[in-house]
Amino acid sequence: MKTVDIREAFLAYFEEQGHTRVASSSLVPANDPTLLFTNAGMNQFKDTFLGTEERAYKRATSSQRCVRAGGKHNDLENVGYTARHHTFFEMLGNFSFGDYFKREAIQFGWHFLTEVMGLPKERLWVTVHVSDDEAAQIWIEEIGVSADRLSRLDEDNFWQMGDTGPCGPCSEIFYDHGPDVPGGPPGSDDDDLDRYIEIWNLVFMQYNRSQNGDMVPLPKPSVDTGMGLERIAAVMQNVHSNYEIDLFQALIKAAAAELKVSDLEHNSLRVIVDHIRSCAFLIVDGVLPGNEGRGYVLRRIIRRAVRHGNKLGSKQAFFHKLVAPLVAEMGEAYPELAKLQGQVEKALLGEEQQFAKTLDNGLSILNEALSGLSGNEIPGEVVFKLYDTYGFPTDLTNDIARERGLTLDMTGYETAMAVQRSRSQESGSFKVDYNDLLKLQGSTVFTGYDTLRGSTTTVAILQDGQQVESLGPGQQGVVVATETPFYAESGGQVGDTGQLVAEGAQLEVTDTTKSSDQHLHHVKVLQGSVSVGDTLDATVDAPVRQCTARNHSATHLLHAAMRRVLGEHVAQKGSL
């Protein structure tokens, strides 16, 4: 059964059971700053589970595109070395928002696997939480699973959204690959081997954990399930590794042909075909290679793939050429990939060409360092030089070290990084972080939406990263006040300028920024002096504010027009 058919069979089955088919959400989570990337099917339903969002349906099913690279959930370093780790995967799921609960969730899962997929019942093993007698009873007495194929586990079978909020026990379904594969059943000493593989997790959200740790029963218990498409495809196609399923085999053959490689089992091919999926779909969802945040994670993945291509002998840009084979495999399920194929190829090619300029030199530096290495640890200074000068992310260097049985001196790397930060700060390249200094100063009340002028009181004065009591004639620093009409730089709009006037003193405000909840007025004392506790008259430069607001709005209008003309791949990264 092909991967594309398994996906459709799952979604169609749950539609028949009264579930609404919901499209995969973006890999960039909407309104959830706690997540770097969408990493589970339930992410787009989080507010529904929390009860803050109402939907027109009580049952849903989806095949969610997920990325686990960077942040808490990071599988990047394992990709290529195991049978089941991926940076990108699809999560099949069915969800109940206060509708059905344990009995129906278990029945649906069992019926789909044994009747629709036709898996032998004797090959399936289940787990429940040690306290969940209800689920155990359903499995044994109603489904007919024998007691010797059910394990009661503790922490592994309890799911929570965070330190507080919805949580509850879960029940996992495992597939037994047979006695020829090493490993024991869930809960045994060797359950981390490959014989018994988890394929489906059924989460029963029945409690709400409070800040003091108490668990209160939810008025409407819900269900969140997740089954990796690649894992169930491996089971259905009777192969042991996810990379042996039809989808990956097609991509591996395409990559091998492009790179002129005959060994289709080479780990580097696995890395490359995994990474083309995460990179392509991240770009489809508006992420572009960059130096921070999601953009830097994307850059790391691309460069890891390019390095593995180089390892296979490639000296030319190749990675972008794998977008077409990917579209052939996944474009029907995700039309947005086919629609933006050209933009994805262009973004990947640009990053490939940029990294190619330093890759060979960086590898030469690394090989030179390794030739004189006395131990089995690559010095931190070398790791930092590769990062700082040649654009080698540390996980890429670690990848090379791992292949050669070496480790990285991360303490030395962090020391070199700290020295670099100190130099940059001294030269003014880094902004001073005032968060720690201002923790006890309270919040600044912003009045600038209603007025451009007002009276306020100085609560703190900062100079050269330190708190001081006053500023004198000609000195520059930062003034923090109880309230202000000055807009602080945020949302892509620059901060206000203007004047602060005290008795006998006049200060020019050259910029306004924010640190935590305080507005920071960057000032130069033109006359007199200002001290903590002084009363100030604050006046925003009105013409400048008006021009800034107009330009900011115009930037958004221009962005909207560009998306309409050039396509939705155009992403605004700021408007300063």
Q: Is there a domain that residue 59 lies in?
A: yes
Closest Cα to residue 169, out of 132, 127, 199, 139?
132
How buried is residue 555: exposed, middle or buried, by Cβ count under 10 Å (0-12/13-18/19+)?
A: middle
CB atoms within 10 A of CB 5: 12
Are residues 273 and 322 part of one domain?
Answer: yes
Q: Which domain holds residue 313?
A: 245-371
Is residue 279 situated within a structural domain? yes
Is residue 439 included in any domain, yes or no?
no
Same domain, 405 and 497: no
Tell which residue, 204, 223, 226, 224, has the closest CA to residue 99: 223
Check whether residue 234 and residue 249 sit in a common domain.
Answer: no
CB atoms within 10 A of CB 512: 25
Quick one: 99 and 223 in the same domain? yes
**pLDDT score recorded for residue 434:** 57
Residue 478's CATH number: 2.40.30.130
Residue 192 sits at φ, ψ, to 5 deg, of: -90, 0
Would you state the structure tokens that stand for residue 541, as one six-digit string?
A: 């430069």
Residues in Cβ contact with 346 at an 8 Å cutoff, skipping those fewer than 6 apart: 320
264 in a structural domain: yes
Strand 377-378 relative to strand 530-531: parallel, antiparallel, unpaired? unpaired
The reply to whether 219 and 302 lie within a common domain is: no
Q: What is the pLDDT of residue 430?
A: 47
**Biggest distance spanned by C-alpha atoms of the chain:** 88
> Are residues 211 and 70 located together in one domain of the fold?
yes
pLDDT tens over the chain, length 576 residues = 999 999 999 999 999 999 999 999 999 988 676 788 999 999 899 888 888 888 999 999 999 999 998 765 566 778 887 888 899 999 999 999 999 999 999 999 999 999 999 999 999 999 999 999 999 999 999 999 999 999 999 988 998 866 777 889 999 999 999 998 899 999 998 888 889 999 999 999 998 888 888 888 888 899 999 999 999 999 999 998 999 999 999 999 999 999 999 999 999 999 999 999 999 999 999 999 998 889 999 999 999 999 999 999 998 999 999 999 999 999 999 999 999 999 999 999 999 999 988 888 888 889 888 888 888 999 999 999 998 888 888 888 988 898 889 999 999 999 988 888 777 655 554 455 555 555 556 789 999 999 999 999 999 999 877 888 999 999 999 999 999 999 999 877 899 999 999 999 999 999 999 887 789 999 999 999 999 999 999 999 999 999 998 998 898 899 889 888 887 667 666 566
Q: Judge whether 576 lies within some domain.
A: no
Say whether both 137 and 40 belong to one domain.
yes
User: Looking at the structure, do residues 535 and 420 belong to the same domain, yes or no?
Assistant: no
Domain edge (last residue) among 371, 387, 408 = 371
Q: Are 224 and 251 within one domain?
A: no
The whole-angstrom separation of Cα 520 and Cα 535 is 16
**Interaxial angle between packed helices 410-426 and 380-390, expressed in degrees from 0 to 180 and rounded to the nearest 10:** 50
| Residue 564, in any domain of the structure | no
The residue whose two tokens read 């004189």 is 372
| Statement to judge: residues 255 and 270 lie in one domain | yes
Examine residue 135 and state whether it is found in any structural domain, yes or no: yes
101, two tokens: 């609960």
- DSSP class per residue in 422-463: HHHHHTT-S----TTTTTTS-PPEE-TTT-SEEEEEEEEEEE
pTM of the model: 0.75
Q: What's 92's domain CATH number?
A: 3.30.930.10
Asked if the structure places residue 249 within a domain, the reply is: yes
**Confidence (pLDDT) at 308:** 94
Same domain, 103 and 171: yes
Final residue belonging to a domain, choices 186, 221, 240: 240
Same domain flag for 21 and 130 = yes
| Structure confidence at residue 302 (pLDDT) | 96
State the total domains in the chain.
Answer: 4
Calculate the alpha carbon distances from 21 to 46, 95, 289 in Å.
17, 10, 32
